[in-house]
Amino acid sequence: MSGGPPSRESIPQACRPDHAVTSQFVGSLKCSLASGDEKAVTELLRTQIRHVDAIIELNNDDWMKEPSARIPPHVLLGLWTLEYTQELTTPLCITCAHGYTECARYLLHRRADANAAPGGRSPLHEACIGGHGDCVQLLLEYGANANKKSEDGLSPLHYCNTNGSLRCAELLLQHGAIVNQVTEDTQDTPLHVAAQLGLLSHAELYLVRGAMIDLKNQEGETPLSAACRGKGGDEDSYLEICRLLLKRGADPDTQDQQERRPLHHACREGKHKLVELLLAANVDVNATDYSGVLPLSCALQSAELHCDKKPQIIVRSLLNHGARCVCPEAFGKVLRYCSGLPEIIALLYNSYISLQVCSKWKQEISEEVIQTHQYFYTRFFSLSGSIRSLQHLCRFALRRHFGSRCHRLIPLLPIPKPIQDYLLLINEGSLL
């Protein structure tokens, strides 16, 4: 925003706290909190607060607040804003956020408001964020609202977003928390949150308590899609959640608003175990999203981002389940995305009956990659105009005959294991 700074009269009157950030009390309180000194915090809250529900200002960067304040340089340049940060809280919010149960009990016994939220979050929200089950139990016993939403539109259950918060979630549900309550902005249920973060025990709890398994959020994602797209935990956690959801009847081919399916997300995130699980559930391996993107394209576009996860396993699995290969005219684009992973280039090359290698494709590959994989690309570009071997032509004919059943039928053939591997494109980057 440009122009001159606003007049002081145009700034809304800020909330006046009982204890300002500049006070000696708040300074001492912040020091004690930073050092984790529970006794010092308790002593301060017992002896120096004005009343049990006093509003405490922990932070305020409003440069307009004091007439004598030094104006920041960005304001002098005309890059001013009406927004600033003011962090307000209460003694009960502070103690519950840090898990100081005895101090919270002291405040509640003196009738502290268990639902007060001057900073946007109530003591119950703060306790759930920290995974402090004893504080959650205490607050609920003193009448805290298990379904109260924060200023951000999240219920206490939505703040149970760590493995350590499982007991908090159990207590909330025992005291009437709505398991299918959605957030205001994204329409996520607690099951969506658990799936996004790889929280298996939370997901099991919510399903036992009646969570709707295919409920969609604002983006049209179900919990299964959320788990396939999740980035917070390890892949095994997401695998177990997806296995649980599928076992409970989740639709493996559900579409979001962009017509993306769980398989698209799993491929884009490089989660090969999830891809295998979804393929075993008979999903459509050639389903396109709204932009016409295939799961194989998702895997190729993100392959170098997930090179540590061996994305070639995903590409091979998709091809062995009948994925349509990239049209030959677009192979140069594939090199642009995947040139640093010759195993993938070899897989794709071996999935064609023949492919006319073009020397101009070298322009899509950086010099650094060429040097790193010099042997492979020297061999690759030497194939220009060459004829594929009879062995490869037989492999192609057999794979085309089996189609999407390659993964299932080839291992049943009475042939040696090395030949089965050859037919399944397990050849460690060989251009055969």
Other residues' Cβ atoms within 10 Å of the Cβ of residue 222: 26
Residue 314 falls inside a structural domain: no
- 237 and 102 within one domain: no
Provide the pLDDT for residue 16. 79
Task: State residue 86's pLDDT score.
Answer: 80
* In 175-306, alpha helices (H): 190-197, 200-208, 223-229, 235-247, 262-268, 272-280, 295-301
Shared domain for 27 and 143, answered yes or no, is yes
The four Cα atoms 344, 349, 352, 356 give a dihedral, to 10 degrees, of 140
DSSP H helical segments within 19-152, as ranges? 24-34, 38-47, 73-76, 91-97, 101-109, 123-130, 133-141
Residue 263 counted as domain residue? yes
Dist. CA 153–CA 155, nearest whole Å = 7
The answer to whether residues 167 and 190 belong to one domain is no
For residue 56, list its beta bridge partners: 19, 89
Which amino acid appears at position 275 of this protein?
A: V
Of 430, 351, 355, give the one whose Cα is nearest residue 398. Answer: 351
pLDDT attached to residue 59: 84
Q: Is 60 helix (H, G, I), strand (E, B) or coil?
A: strand
9 and 154 together in one domain: yes
Looking at 178, 194, 228, which one is the last position of a domain? 178
Shared domain for 15 and 128, answered yes or no, is: yes
Last residue of a domain, one of 178, 212, 237: 178
Looking at the structure of the chain, the number of domains it has is 3
Radius of gyration for the chain, computed over Cα atoms and rounded to the nearest angstrom: 29
Is 420 within a domain?
A: yes
| pLDDT tens per residue across all 432 residues of the chain | 333 333 333 333 446 788 988 899 889 998 989 999 999 999 999 998 889 999 998 888 654 555 444 555 554 455 545 555 788 999 999 999 999 999 999 999 999 999 999 999 999 999 999 999 999 999 999 999 999 999 999 999 999 999 999 999 999 999 999 999 999 999 999 999 999 999 999 999 999 999 999 999 999 999 999 999 987 668 899 999 999 999 999 999 999 999 999 999 999 999 999 999 999 999 999 999 999 999 999 999 999 999 999 999 999 999 999 999 888 888 988 998 899 999 999 999 999 998 888 888 998 999 999 999 999 999 999 988 788 899 999 999 999 999 999 999 999 999 999 999 999 999 867 786
Does 317 fall in a domain?
A: no
Residues 134 and 273 both lie in one domain: no
Asked whether residue 6 falls in the same domain as residue 115, the answer is yes
One domain, residues 60 and 115: yes
Shared domain check, 63 and 174: yes
In whole angstroms, what is the distance from residue 45 CA to residue 54 CA? 10
Domain boundary among 178, 209, 244: 178
Residue 318 lies in a domain: no
> Looking at the domain assignment, is residue 302 inside a domain?
no
Specify the pLDDT at position 107.
96
CB 63 within 8 Å of CB 75 = yes
Let me know if residue 236 belongs to a domain: yes
Q: Are 296 and 257 in contact, with CB atoms under 8 Å apart? A: no
**CATH label of the domain that carries residue 165:** 1.25.40.20
Is 201 inside a domain boundary? Answer: yes
Residues 253, 218: contact at Cβ < 8 Å?
Answer: no
Do both 189 and 169 map to the same domain?
no
Do 172 and 185 share a domain, yes or no?
no
Same domain for 167 and 205? no
In single-letter form, the type of residue at position 354 comes to: S
Q: Are 141 and 101 a contacting pair, CB within 8 Å?
A: no
Q: Which residues lie below 8 Å from residue 155, measured CB to CB, with a gap of 6+?
A: 146, 147, 148, 149, 177, 178, 181, 183, 190
Structural domain of 115: 1-178
